[in-house]
Amino acid sequence: MSPFLRLVLFSSFAVTLAAQSGGDVVSVEEARNPLQGRSLHMILTAQEHLRSGQHERGMQELRDAMKDPVTMPYAITILGGEHLKAGQLDVALDELEQAVHLLPRSTSYSNLAYVLYLKKQTERGLELVRKAIRMDGGKPKTRLVLGMLLLQQGSHDAEAIRQLQAAAPENPDAHLILARHYDWAGKAPEAEKERRAYAVTSMSLLAGK
């Protein structure tokens, strides 16, 4: 994996790009669910351990939850996101493919689309991320993935730029992706402008924490 893709994968608008926070391409927060009783407790406990840094414990609890047909769709959705954060793309791909069938949610579709972006399966990634946008109304994170896939496709740069600009206020990574695009296009002033915007947006988001 190239350094640039690693930065995107592990970046988060809550921390600097270099931190391994998980890019927040997926967040355990987003696996909201209508579970009750013991099933709900299993998932919430695993989520809490993942959030608190007890990663292996949380992952084991999710693997245990896979044995319960009620909790299995939620567990595999979160596992897919965690393996994506860790860069285990083949494992994440398999889990997220199951997740979109068992528990169709916009975050699962956009996470799967991001895996496909990393694996350069652009056309299917675009199909899935557009479905995610129809489901969530165009959340910034989903627009970020769409913009990346459109740039990868290479024939819809104007739309890609619009999507990344829309994502940028909440996802500073979008500025770096745009900067990279402008560098490749030989547009140095535009690239520098995006790098400055990344620094400003990142600092603003950190200050708001």
CATH says 3-207 is which class?
mainly alpha
Question: pLDDT 10s digit of each residue in the chain, 209 long?
Answer: 344 444 344 333 222 222 222 333 444 444 555 677 888 889 999 999 999 999 999 999 999 999 999 999 999 999 999 999 999 999 999 999 999 999 999 999 999 999 999 999 999 999 999 999 999 999 999 999 999 999 999 989 999 999 999 999 999 999 999 999 999 999 999 999 999 999 998 887 777 65
- Tell me the domain boundaries of the chain: 3-207
Contact 60, 49 (CB under 8 A): no
Can you give the pTM of this predicted structure?
Answer: 0.81
For the four alpha carbons of 186, 201, 78 and 63, in that order, the dihedral sign comes to positive
The predicted structure's pLDDT at residue 201: 87
The predicted structure's pLDDT at residue 53: 93
